[in-house]
Structure 1
Amino acid sequence: MKTLDKAKTWLDSAVFDQKTIEEVQELINNKPQQLEEAFYKNLEFGTGGMRGVMGAGTNRINKYTLGKNSQGIADYLKEVYPNEQHKVVIAYDCRHNSQEFAYEVAKVFSANGVQVYIFPELRPTPLLSYSVKHLGCHCGIVLTASHNPPEYNGYKVYWTDGGQLVPPQDKDIINRIDNLEFKDVNFNGNNDLIKKLGETEDEAFINDSIKNGGFNTTEEERKKLNISYTSLHGTSITIIPKVLKKRGYEQLHIVDQQAEPNGDFPTVESPNPEEPAALKMALELGEEKGSDLVVGTDPDSDRLGIAVRNLEGKLQLLNGNQTMVMMTWFLLEEWKKDERIKGQEFVASTIVSTPLMQVLTESYQVEYKESLTGFKWIAKLIKDNPELDFIGGGEESFGYMVGDFVRDKDAVTSILLVCEMAAQLKAKGSSIYEKMIELYVEHGYFKEHLVALVKKGIEGAEEIKQKMIDLRDNPLKEIDGEKIVLVEDYLSRKAKNTQTKETYDINVPQSNVLIYYTENGTKIAARPSGTEPKIKFYISVNAELKSTKKYKEITEMHDAKIKRIVKELSIA
């Protein structure tokens, strides 16, 4: 009855349009399950902003939930930046309703006296992050659901530094939004305050992408690199070919069937480069064209997937940790060559990513910093450490940030960086894959694996919640025959050494993450996703690799170990 009463408030024609009223009435009359899903809670901000299924309801993405967000932000801007002309820049992706939602959001901001800049068509998320600082805006909004299924859309918020919302702004803004009613939202836009951007912003981003992602690669080396690329029906098609062409990469083959933006993502089951099947067509094109490198992005172009030639000459996908490690190595090496490492630099990654990031970074006498999952936390590290130069950083979920000109994961510049690395290594008779194995010999072999269990709807949310409760109430004592020696609970912000019984504080913001470490260095993390109906398990194992000849043997051994762990945890 509580949900029904909540839904009936959406039948008010003084607040909601006729189409919305009819949709809600249909839910009330004929679809009780969907009604419950649509209204049982308010859609919340997670690690990547607000993301959800489109439709009528408080737990859905629609013009009213987005309008309420925008009204709350506009009110907050007036409060914290009084007597200023407030400015916001808005971008949107290829998804259904993204353009319409973008203009509804623009109406609300302009109705509140905010100067709005909006891109004339779909654009990558990193370009939005860049534009916040470049245009001197107070905030930025991008309408996107990243790599989620077609029925989703979302709303990411960026602040003055170009990074996503973090404390204290996020809670202050959320409180203001929660205290609003839908009748408080002003949709009466002021067209005089809405300005479409031209190509100038694109050109500035392209130039800075090349400046930050291009390193000491000769014209001849770039000409010889053979690349196959897919945008997975998303936004990167508007920028990446231009960046690579301007940098001098002439052998670029594009998957034509996936080049046209399409919110249905008709050629893939999931437009997520984390899923190997998403890059199937790009891999086929790469084999046909004899490519050295295959690259692809998710729909809003913040995540990238890559495939390189393995020791047998076949194209092989790298996982997110491997891609991140290789880009970090290349950046550190190039900074070292250019004598830019002065002792005031740092690299960043996240608590669920490979431990190899820290080992590799510190081998260059560069500081390593670790954050919670999500690039907003990496951006916050940059903001909180202005005395340090940020070299680069990433996380296991196929995201990377090159330098400090964009403060979110950036597949555009990252792909350029990968091309530079591949071109240089090819010129030396080597490859990304061979160099990766050399790094394993030098620093230790690390193997990671992700299991993501999808749990949709109200029941799914309860299952995820209960799974985390069970892991805390009945903690693991051992895994694969290895004793657990350390448990980190980021919800209580406490860590416990199970051998000595000592506890210590974890000095990061609270988060629903639990991490186990074994006596042999195995690491297992459990974490509900902040943007999808999933609970994720991150497994990391490691060992010494004495020579490149032992690589295949040790990989098979650790693949078997990971399978045993997955089975033991009952998460297959």
Structure 2
Amino acid sequence: MNTLDRAKEWLSDFFDEETRKAVQEMIDSNSPDLEDSFYKNMEFGTGGMRGIMGVGTNRLNKYTLGQATQGLANYLHQQFPNETIKVAIAYDVRHNSKEFGKLCADILTANGIKVFLFKYHRPTPELSFTVRDKKCDAGIVLTASHNPPEYNGYKVYWNDGAQVVPPNDEGIIREVYNTKYEDIKFTGNDDLIEWVGEEQDDVYIDTCIKNSLYQDIGRGNLNIVFTSIHGTTYTTIPKALKKAGFKKVDLVTEQMVPSGNFPTVESPNPEEPSALSMAMNLARITNADIVIGTDPDGDRLGMAVRNLDGEMQLLNGNQTNTLLTYYILEQWKKEGKLTGTEFIGSTIVTSDIFFDIAKKFGIECKASLTGFKWIGKMIREAEGKQKFICGGEESFGFMTGDFVRDKDSCGSILTACEIAAWCKANGRTPYQYLIDIYKEIGMYQEGLVNIVRKGKEGAEIIRQMMTDFRNHPVEKLAGSKVVTIKDYQEQTLWNLETNEKSEMADIPKSNVLIYYTEDGSKVAIRPSGTEPKIKFYFSVKDTIKSEKEFEIKQKNLFDKIDLIKSDLKLD
């Protein structure tokens, strides 16, 4: 059917009056939004859905969410026949999130499923924790992470607390696509809802403290600035820091107010320096040692510390994770807990420094596709054989153990603040500690370019870009020959020096390309799975012998990244 015919289907009596009216207005006014709202069905991917809210098959609304939840209910009954099925549901501060949460609960209870529903918005990692803590069969969180205010999303978790992976994701997708809107059971049974309140925060926070802290040195003397950037962590992080003994915590009060409009920032993304500008300004007034900010659903953290000039500087995700990983492994070694059967988790687009760190401590680093659900899969598959210590990815996500099976800002912030307190007690800064790690391991610098192309036309442009980079690879990057290309969609490793291709089936298929050059530079290219953009990840490296060399070495590496961007025609 064409777009107009698809839209007219939503004028039937099955759809509520408000929906029918909105669709009719779009048709009558020949709205430019009509095409994007109805040209396809919103994709229910391997982790769920994320998109713009509104009416239409390609929008997030009660019917597309209802279809997803009814499909999930059908799959749960297939997997757990004749059992009492339990699902936990949480939601963030976004518009309609609370209503969407109750909608999902109603559909599940209408299907005879018990629901643990949070009374108010809570961070995504607390949902992951609660799935395990309440021994649920699945979990749902309504969030669009750091997307613009018009977005919302829907993520599904399995009984290990991690986002669904094969074969469960494929089974859920099949049931979702087999579900018609008319099949959705909207009339819920509140007797099957158990409301979850602040008491769960304490259980979660206490577990974070137990699993994320190692030594109590100087915690009461550390000056911290924290902002939730209008998101969910105002409910957990200040309380966790206080319980852990961090006494000097200044909050960016304007941003501690939960709001789906994110009124003080252009984007509530801690990767963006502008999102932390208010926190950085407060840090200058309070003479803070560390600045921390989280995204709306509270799974990722941005962190700034004093650089060599004494100015606050935002670390990138790889740098933050380097500090956390190295410190945690040092503590495990000090406690005699490293036996060689442990591992850390990373992703294929994250810096290769984590392989070097793992090698130094005599353990394994496992790399997965982008997304913490794959790190969760690693943990599940290794249970009883290897011990997971920690893991992270470049997009400001980290986890400090396996009690949460997703990136977790709470545990990560506690460890980051302990590092800062320990450094301060020893007359150092986390920035100097990072340079010490580079002197030991090798110095890495990373960069990221996002190219946004919206709508149907934009999706086609991104597809063509991936095709061109796949079929017509560049020969040199910053003067160094491209020697290897890993194609995760084709699952091949292409040696350009011998022109031989070999199979690479240890990681599931995904539309990702990685170029490696002769001098060790790395460029990963992939379309975003949640936003209308294509992403380019850069990693270059050098050696460093002293702190005095750091700034010039860093400048040289940034210059090299700029040359690579130019070679890829991204400047």
TM-score by structure 2 length? 0.98
Task: Look up the match of 2:5.
Answer: 5
State the alpha-carbon separation in 2 of the partners of residues 410 and 140 from structure 1.
16
The Cα offsets for residues 102-155 of structure 1, whole Å up to 9 and x where unpaired, read as 111111000000001111101000000000010011100011101000000000
Structure 1 counterpart SS, 2:32: helix
Q: Give the one of 472, 475, 487 matched to 1:474.
A: 472
Q: Give the one of 372, 376, 379 matched to 1:382.
A: 379
Instruction: Report if aligned partners of 1:46, 1:531 keep a CA contact under 8 Å in 2.
Output: no
Task: Look up the match of 1:542.
Answer: 541
State the alpha-carbon separation in 2 of the partners of residues 49 and 408 from structure 1.
15
The Cα offsets for residues 71-109 of structure 1, whole Å up to 9 and x where unpaired, read as 001111111100101111100110000001111111100
Q: Give the one of 353, 360, 364 matched to 2:357.
A: 360
Give the CA deviation at 1:198: 2.7
Give the fraction of aligned pairs with identical amino acids, expressed as a percent.
Answer: 53
Instruction: Report if aligned partners of 1:48, 1:530 keep a CA contact under 8 Å in 2.
Output: no
Instruction: Report if aligned partners of 2:317, 2:395 keep a CA contact under 8 Å in 1.
Output: yes
State the alpha-carbon separation in 1 of the partners of residues 537 and 197 from structure 2.
42
Q: Which letter maps to 2:567?
A: E
- More displaced 10-residue stretch of structure 1: 333-342 or 254-263: 333-342
Give the CA deviation at 1:534: 0.8
State the alpha-carbon separation in 2 of the partners of residues 410 and 43 from structure 1.
28
Give the CA deviation at 1:551: 0.7
State the alpha-carbon separation in 2 of the partners of residues 130 and 117 from structure 1.
13
Task: Look up the match of 2:281.
Answer: 284
Instruction: Report if aligned partners of 1:88, 1:117 keep a CA contact under 8 Å in 2.
Output: yes
Task: Look up the match of 2:501.
Answer: 503
Matching of residues 346-425 of structure 1 within 5 Å = 346-386=343-383, 387-425=385-423
State the alpha-carbon separation in 2 of the partners of residues 342 and 555 from structure 1.
35
Give the CA deviation at 1:225: 0.4
Q: Please state if 1:141 is matched with 2:143.
A: no
- More displaced 10-residue stretch of structure 1: 403-412 or 41-50: 41-50
Give the CA deviation at 1:233: 0.2
Matching of residues 521-560 of structure 1 within 5 Å = 521-560=520-559
Instruction: Report if aligned partners of 1:445, 1:544 keep a CA contact under 8 Å in 2.
Output: yes
Instruction: Report if aligned partners of 1:301, 1:411 keep a CA contact under 8 Å in 2.
Output: yes
Instruction: Report if aligned partners of 1:49, 1:531 keep a CA contact under 8 Å in 2.
Output: no
Instruction: Report if aligned partners of 1:47, 1:373 keep a CA contact under 8 Å in 2.
Output: no
- More displaced 10-residue stretch of structure 1: 29-38 or 363-372: 29-38
Q: Which letter maps to 2:536?
A: F
Q: Which letter maps to 2:497?
A: Q
State the alpha-carbon separation in 2 of the partners of residues 47 and 327 from structure 1.
29
1:125–1:367 Cα change, 3 Å: same
Unaligned residue ranges in structure 1 (runs of 5+): none
Q: Give the one of 450, 463, 479 matched to 2:461.
A: 463
Task: Look up the match of 2:72.
Answer: 73
Q: Which letter maps to 2:7?
A: A
Q: Please state if 1:427 is matched with 2:425.
A: yes
Task: Look up the match of 1:22.
Answer: 21
Give the CA deviation at 1:48: 5.0
Matching of residues 308-319 of structure 1 within 5 Å = 308-319=305-316
> Any runs of at least 4 consecutive aligned residues in structure 1 with deviations exceeding 4 A, and if so which?
none
State the alpha-carbon separation in 1 of the partners of residues 334 and 216 from structure 2.
13
Q: Please state if 1:302 is matched with 2:338.
A: no
Task: Look up the match of 1:49.
Answer: 48
Give the CA deviation at 1:67: 0.7
Task: Look up the match of 2:445.
Answer: 447
Structure 2 counterpart SS, 1:172: helix
Task: Look up the match of 1:247.
Answer: 244
Figure out how many residues of one structure are paired with residues of the other and give that number. 569
Task: Look up the match of 2:98.
Answer: 99
Q: Which letter maps to 2:188?
A: G
Give the CA deviation at 1:442: 1.2
Give the CA deviation at 1:503: 2.3
Task: Look up the match of 1:211.
Answer: 210
Instruction: Report if aligned partners of 1:268, 1:278 keep a CA contact under 8 Å in 2.
Output: yes
Instruction: Report if aligned partners of 1:48, 1:531 keep a CA contact under 8 Å in 2.
Output: no
State the alpha-carbon separation in 1 of the partners of residues 203 and 503 from structure 2.
44
Structure 2 counterpart SS, 1:242: helix
Matching of residues 130-169 of structure 1 within 5 Å = 130-169=129-168
Structure 2 counterpart SS, 1:287: helix
State the alpha-carbon separation in 1 of the partners of residues 30 and 338 from structure 2.
61
State the alpha-carbon separation in 2 of the partners of residues 504 and 132 from structure 1.
40
State the alpha-carbon separation in 1 of the partners of residues 264 and 534 from structure 2.
26
Instruction: Report if aligned partners of 2:241, 2:414 keep a CA contact under 8 Å in 1.
Output: yes
Instruction: Report if aligned partners of 1:47, 1:530 keep a CA contact under 8 Å in 2.
Output: no
Give the CA deviation at 1:504: 2.0
Q: Which letter maps to 1:167?
A: P
Structure 1 counterpart SS, 2:187: coil
Task: Look up the match of 2:193.
Answer: 194
Give the CA deviation at 1:32: 4.2
TM-score by structure 1 length? 0.98
Instruction: Report if aligned partners of 1:227, 1:251 keep a CA contact under 8 Å in 2.
Output: yes
The Cα offsets for residues 136-188 of structure 1, whole Å up to 9 and x where unpaired, read as 11100011101000000000110000000111111111011101110100001
Instruction: Report if aligned partners of 1:327, 1:418 keep a CA contact under 8 Å in 2.
Output: yes
Task: Look up the match of 1:112.
Answer: 111
Instruction: Report if aligned partners of 1:47, 1:531 keep a CA contact under 8 Å in 2.
Output: no
Q: Which letter maps to 1:11?
A: L
Instruction: Report if aligned partners of 1:52, 1:154 keep a CA contact under 8 Å in 2.
Output: yes
Instruction: Report if aligned partners of 2:46, 2:169 keep a CA contact under 8 Å in 1.
Output: no
State the alpha-carbon separation in 1 of the partners of residues 363 and 7 from structure 2.
55
Q: CA RMSD in A?
A: 1.0
Q: Give the one of 323, 328, 337 matched to 1:326.
A: 323
Task: Look up the match of 2:255.
Answer: 258
State the alpha-carbon separation in 2 of the partners of residues 217 and 373 from structure 1.
34
Structure 1 counterpart SS, 2:119: coil
The Cα offsets for residues 436-474 of structure 1, whole Å up to 9 and x where unpaired, read as 111111111111000011111111111111100111121
